[in-house]
Chain A
Amino acid sequence: MTAEAPIVLIVEDDARAREALGELLVAHGMRVAVYVSAEEYARAATPTVPACLLLDVELPGINGLDLQAELTGADHPPIVFLTGHGDIPSSVRAIRHGAVDFLTKPCSDTALMAAIEAALAQDRRIRAERAELERLRARYAMLTPRERQVLPLIVSGLLNKQAAAELKLSEVTLQVHKRNVLRKMGADSLADLVRIALWLRIPVTHSRRGKREA
């Protein structure tokens, strides 16, 4: 199994249910980590591989829904809820807060595994995006101050001439900078650079028709 092998994190207070759930997922070839309570889970380290959180709603102390609320905004795996007696308000609240699925015990392994796979896929995508952004940020960090001035001008669509005038540079010099920016940011084309800039949330401050209002 590679380091990228996904893992399912189970939070369940009932020993028999926890035991059975773990057994089932292992039988499905999943890596599993089990936690007795929300507190125990909170103390554990966030996994570095794609993961899914299988969360019982009825937990002693902090229940599953509360844990979800606490995790909101943090870097955490997608959640699949399990409940002994699911009610509609709870499920609505869970889904609204980003849960992948809300399952009622006892549930079939098919439904369970589908929910888990969906959650893992979502986690993989998030991780990839985050890695790409990190890469772009690293590239952006390599730009010289002058290149960082040039970047917003060219992605704003200014002509070389305009951009050069804006920075009080010669057009040739600007073109050199522009080439360096494209190269350093790993952009294949100007359009690619625009996309990257959008991703990096670099503001578009100019247009060919004049300076935009800040």
Chain B
Amino acid sequence: MLSVATDAINDQPARAARLVEEVVGNAWATDAAGRFLYATPGVLGLPAAGWEVPDTNPEDPALGWKPLLHPEDYEAAAMSWRQSLQTGHAYDVTHRLRAADGTYRWRRCSGRPVRDAEARIVGWYGAVLEREALHDRERELAQLVDMAPSHVWRLTPDGEPAFFNRRMSDYLGPEITSGPPVGLEALLAAVHPEDAPAFRTTLRRSLATGEPFALRYRLRRFDGAYRWMSSRAEPLRDHAERILQWYGVCHDIDDQVRAEEALRLREQELERLVDAVPAMIWCLSPDGQPSYYSEQLVRWLGMSVEDLDHPRTTRLARAAALLVHPADSRDVHAELARCVRTGDPFLCKCRVRRHDGVFRWMEGRAQALRDAEGNIVQWYGVLIDIEELMRAQDELRGRERELSQLVDMVPSQIWRLNPDGEPIFFNKRMVDFLDMQVAGTGRLQAVIDSIHPDDAARFEAALHQSLATGEAFAMQYRLRRADGDYRWMSGRAEPLRDERGRIVQWFGLSHDIDDQMRLYADIAEREARIRRLVDSDIIGIVIWDLDGRLIDANDAFLRMIQHDRADVTAGIRWFDITPPEWQEVHAREEAQELAATGKMQAREKEYFRKDGSRVPVLIGAACFDGQSRQGVAYILDLTERKRVEAAVRDRERELSQLVDMVPSYLWRITADGMPVFFNKRLVDYLGLDVSGADRPGKSRLAAITEAIIHPDDSATVAAAFERSLASGERFSMNWRMRRADGVYRWMAASAEAMRDQAGRITQWYGLCHDIDDQVLAEQTLRQSKQQLEQMIDAMPINILSFDPSRRLTYASRRYLDTVGPPGPIRDFETLARDVAHPDDLPVMFRRALDGFRTGLPFVNRFRRRCSDGVYRWIEARAQALRDADGQIVQWYIASIDIEEEMQAQEALRERERFLWQLVETLPAMIDCTAPDGEPVYRSQQLRAFLGYEPEELTGTDGPRLMQTLDAGVHPDDLAAVRKDYARCLQTGEAYARRHRLRRHDGAYRWVETRAAPMRNADGAIVQWNVICLDIDAEVRAQEDLRLAQERLARAGQAASLAELSASIAHEVNQPLAAVVWNSQACQRWLAATPPNLDRARTTVERIIRDANAAADVVSRIRALFRQAAAPRHRGSIGDLVADVGRLLGDRTAQTRVGVTTDVAADLPAVPFDVVQLQQVLVNLMRNAIEAMEGQAPEPRLGIRAVRDGAAVRVEVSDNGPGVPHPEKVFDAFFTTRPTGMGMGLAICRSIVESHGGRLWVEGNELGGATFAFTLPMEAPEPP
């Protein structure tokens, strides 16, 4: 900066500026209008270099100052500046100016105008001067001192007042403070005359010694009123420790002092009152430390508050340690500490140590006293001796507890759950309660549904929690009884685990705690009520006089007796509120006591309320000291205490009654086995009390046992008792117990141990039910059951019975012998699965379940496994036994062994199945019909052949037999078949016939049908059995054979003799061989010795016969082929036709050709060669049949023989395709068939013509051809 300045030093104005800056300090210049022309940096709090003249606003010259000045000072400065600019007077203002660091400092700023020659102002120069620092402080302190909410003053070292602040000046008024200095005496004159000496003395001492001055005194205000002041002063010394000044301060504490005064007065009054009251009262400081014990309390404790002081501990801790029973000490201390902390009223019952060292039960109550701001000022407490009360209550409670335990022995609800929580058992009490059987599904939900809606969710959650975690379940809930009432239950459940720790099931127990819950509710309510009473300051306090008037009473007392304050004002006398029976006591004892001692010990009595009802109270009283006519009484309302007592007493009585009234015999024995209690019922029954059988030298248990237990049972009873007492296990057995009249009755006895918290047995509680009637009934029943069982066992059937839930209740001896004991199996399902054959189980089981569900009797046949492991067929019949209301009581199942029967049936069935298969698979069609011929059964083969089922024939179209025949039998055979059937059905003859039967595809096949009747023992026909063999193939084979023969025959027609020799040879060789062998035989007979002539003759006759036969054959063959004139005989054409018809019978039948023969009766005999004409006729007929074969749907062959003039005409007609070339057919070697030789008709014509006849052919009108030939009656002359 220096170098910069040096550089600029040559510049004249700059030098001037530097001069100004360094010498003058802070200077500034403006123009005439007040606009800044120049300012040293100091003005702006800026460094010397780089500053800038603040821009000024031409309208307002003061604005140039604005950024420089403290905002508070600106207005005043601006006004002065504007004034100076206007008037030309010098500007001189003290204000705060902004420094470089941003803080404001007080500065004096002055400026003067610069005038030109005409004295016109051309500009302004000014300077800013530092003010001295003290000026600032003085100003600040003055403000502080004047504004402080206290009187502040200063004295000279010799005590003369040198300064009063404004507040003090205002207080004292102008007479004293106007015109300083104020003399000390003037000040003293303002002090209250009573305080002035002390003031003077104290001040003088301080002035003399230099000690600080402190004093409370009354100071007169300007208006003449004295007010309390608290004044303090201290000296200011120089470094030589000489006092320079006294500085003092003086607070107005008038209100405080007056409040203190009032409080002190009140405290004194209370203390007096409290000491007078015969109650033990104590006070605690706000932090809970004992601060006051009433006289009574001190006397009672033998110790005062001050005795509690101890260097190492607090009063409270020491009081708790010394005075409170060690067992209660901690609780009391904690409770008190809590109340002190929170401000809650304190109430505690504890044992407190009396002066003689005895601990007595006391009830301590305390409440906080608060000031206007709600701060705790003091705790007031009272201590009431409740020893007697507690003792009485303890006694009652103990008795109540015992009795409750006894009552708890009465059975409870017991239930079991499976691990999923589904109930699997309810005891009867629970079943009765819920009116719900455990059997069935969704029982858990049903139980949950029975829980009060308010508890259900909680119950379910707790149960699921327990089920999930295995924690014991315990809760209380309301359960709906069957009659709709909700009752409180205490439910507990614990899991039973197997050896691997898995939960097997849950055992639960529910107590009906509805009564307890209500009692608890009552107690809770009472307790709440007491607490409310306590909370509401329940110590009643009354000021009275000896005339019996109540002078004053607090609200608590008024509440007790339900009077209001107006009544007190009007005048209430003790006499008015004391019941008559207490009045004498009041008059005699209390008055005397008061008169004699001035006090009345606390006692319980009653007062009338305004409404005439009575209120029990505890009252104590004392006369005021010195004012012997008046006194104070404190009254505690004992209504609640009395009520609690009464409730407990009632409860005790109720329980007592309950125990005696329970319809059971209850008893209690000690842990070591000594009977200590019988309930009244038991005493009445036995005719003796618990000690009634005592004998010296014998334990009471033994004596009682001997006296009341049947001699037969006493040993086991004693043993059982001994065992239970030793082990702590529940005791349970039946015994006969002697009644007072000497009769023994059966009892079901049980006992359980009650244990204390440490698990030690404290008592045994026992219960006896009279079960005599039941036992007798059971015995009777058992006898009856035995008889029945014997009866059942004697019967050859097995009997089982099941209860309605299908649990096995009985199995007869025979069943056990046969099947074996069912073991642990109890339910029907498992038993069935165990013994029934798996193949039979499903059906058997379904039927059984249907039966069980519907209640209808059912029968099952199934294989059951016997004890030897073999399955045998049985028939089991089940029937339900119902009670009078129709409810099923029991299911009885009786089973009989039907193994043999089933085996026989099985064999039969097997045989039937075998036969059936045989029938169905036989390659024959089998048909069974009813006696009237209606179809009953058709075998598979027949059905397949016919192509329809017999059921498809409806009964409306006539008898089904006839339908079958009409549809199936060939029309040509139908009439005959129907006729035969009719005859057989009528007569019962067996039937046999060949006919054609239509197959399902429409083809007719030859069948041979045979039918035979099946008769019963009486000979009546029960069924026709029909077998129908398909012989079509056989028939066709025969046809084929015949065809072959015919082909041979036809071949023979035109073949040479040699070709035919083979067949002819056989014809001839037979007779020839016979001739040879007969001849040789004859030769033997003749050669024998002696010759056997008879046999020789016989053989010779045979030789002649056979030789002729052979010759016949040979000549006929020759005649045929050589057309040799054979000897012609007159013969009957009718015979000829009949012979040929027979010859071709098989052929016509085979080709299904219908043949009609029409021979006139009056035909004359004509001469003809039989063999030749047979050949002709055979030839013509065969030609006709062959022509129709495959051509005519219904081939018809007609043979007709008529007289034709002098000849006989024979016609052979057919309905074939006819003859296309009538003239050529008779030519040799003409044929229309591939296999024919074309010789037949040529030969025929030559044969006919050799007989003098004619052979021709003509067409029929309806199609087909007719071949006709004639034979003249007279033979022609041989050619």
B-binding residues in A (CB < 8 A): 14, 16-17, 19-21, 23-24, 26-28, 58, 84-85, 105-109
Contact = CB atoms under 8 A, between A and B. Distances in A.
Contacts of B1074: 14, 16-17, 19-20
A27 B1074 CA distance: 15
B979 interface: no
Contacts of B1106: 16, 20
Given A16-B1102, A16-B1106, A85-B1062, A24 B1070 contact: no
A125 B1099 CA distance: 35
Contact of A28 (B1071, B1073, B1084, B1095): B1084
B1076 interface: yes
A14 B1070 contact: yes
A103 to B, nearest CB: 10
B1 interface: no
9 contacts: A16-B1071, A19-B1078, A23-B1095, A23-B1099, A24-B1077, A24-B1080, A84-B1069, A105-B1070, A105-B1073
| Those 5 A-B pairs whose CB atoms lie nearest each other, nearest first | A27-B1084, A20-B1077, A106-B1073, A106-B1076, A16-B1074
A5 B1036 CA distance: 48
A84 B1081 contact: no
B310 to A, nearest CB: 126
Interface in B1052-1096: 1062, 1065-1066, 1069-1078, 1080-1081, 1084-1085, 1088, 1095
A24 B1084 contact: yes
Instruction: Pick the most buried of A26, A27, A85: most chain B CB atoms within 10 A of its CB.
Output: A27
B1086 to A, nearest CB: 10
Given A23-B1099, A84-B1066, A17 B1081 contact: no
A23 B1076 contact: no
Given A19-B1102, A85-B1065, A27 B1072 contact: no
Instruction: Pick the most buried of B1065, B1084, B1099, B1109: most chain A CB atoms within 10 A of its CB.
Output: B1084
A17 B1066 contact: no
Nearest to A104: B1069
B1013 to A, nearest CB: 30
A8 B1069 CA distance: 22
Nearest to A82: B1073
Does more than half of chain B's interface fall in helix, strand or loop, or is it mixed? helix
Contacts of B1081: 20, 23-24, 26-27
Contacts of A14: 1070, 1074
Given A27-B1088, A85-B1065, A109 B1073 contact: no
Given A17-B1070, A17-B1073, A85-B1065, 11 more contacts: A14-B1070, A17-B1074, A19-B1102, A20-B1074, A20-B1081, A23-B1081, A24-B1077, A58-B1066, A85-B1062, A105-B1073, A108-B1080
Contacts of A17: 1070, 1073-1074, 1077
Interface of B: 1062, 1065-1066, 1069-1078, 1080-1081, 1084-1085, 1088, 1095, 1098-1099, 1102, 1106, 1109
A108 B1081 CA distance: 11
A177 B654 CA distance: 117
A3 to B, nearest CB: 24
A21 B1074 CA distance: 7
A92 B663 CA distance: 124
Given A106-B1077, A108-B1080, A20 B1102 contact: yes
Contact of B1078 (A20, A58, A107): A20
A109 B1082 CA distance: 12
A105 B1076 CA distance: 9
Given A20-B1073, A106-B1073, A27 B1102 contact: no
A84 B1065 contact: yes
A185 B645 CA distance: 132
A84 B1080 contact: no
A10 B1072 CA distance: 18
Contacts of B1088: 27
A109 B1075 CA distance: 12
Contacts of B1069: 84-85, 105-106
B1078 A23 contact: yes
A130 to B, nearest CB: 33
Nearest to B1069: A84
Nearest to A25: B1081
A142 to B, nearest CB: 45
Instruction: Pick the most buried of A26, A105, A108: most chain B CB atoms within 10 A of its CB.
Output: A105
A17 B1065 CA distance: 14
Instruction: Pick the most buried of A16, A105, A107: most chain B CB atoms within 10 A of its CB.
Output: A16
Contacts of B1073: 17, 20, 84, 105-107
Nearest to B1098: A23
A64 to B, nearest CB: 14
A109 B1066 contact: no
Nearest to B1103: A20
Given A20-B1102, A85-B1065, A85-B1066, A27 B1071 contact: no
A109 B1077 contact: yes
Nearest to B1076: A106
Contacts of B1085: 27
Instruction: Pick the most buried of B1073, B1085, B1098, B1102: most chain A CB atoms within 10 A of its CB.
Output: B1073
B33 to A, nearest CB: 162
A139 to B, nearest CB: 46
A109 B1070 contact: no
A105 B1078 CA distance: 13
B888 to A, nearest CB: 75
A85 B1069 CA distance: 8
B1078 A106 contact: no
A105 to B, nearest CB: 4
A24 B1087 CA distance: 13
A138 B677 CA distance: 109
B1061 to A, nearest CB: 9
Contacts of B1071: 16
Nearest to B1087: A27
A19 B1088 CA distance: 20
B1063 to A, nearest CB: 9
Contacts of A21: 1077
Contacts of A109: 1077, 1080, 1084
Contacts of B1099: 20, 23
Nearest to B1086: A27
A148 B1074 CA distance: 59
B1070 A16 contact: yes
A72 to B, nearest CB: 26
A7 B99 CA distance: 180
A65 B75 CA distance: 170
Contacts of B1066: 58, 84-85
A205 to B, nearest CB: 48
A19 to B, nearest CB: 7
Nearest to A27: B1084
A105 B1070 CA distance: 8
A108 B1098 CA distance: 20
B1084 A84 contact: no
A107 B1081 CA distance: 13
Nearest to B1061: A85
A58 B1067 CA distance: 12
A109 B1081 CA distance: 9
A84 B1062 CA distance: 9
Nearest to A21: B1077
B113 to A, nearest CB: 170
A17 B1081 CA distance: 12
A20 B851 CA distance: 90
A109 to B, nearest CB: 4
A107 B1080 CA distance: 10
A26 B1102 CA distance: 16
A53 B1080 CA distance: 20
A28 B1085 CA distance: 9
A39 B956 CA distance: 52
A86 B1112 CA distance: 24
A84 B1064 CA distance: 11
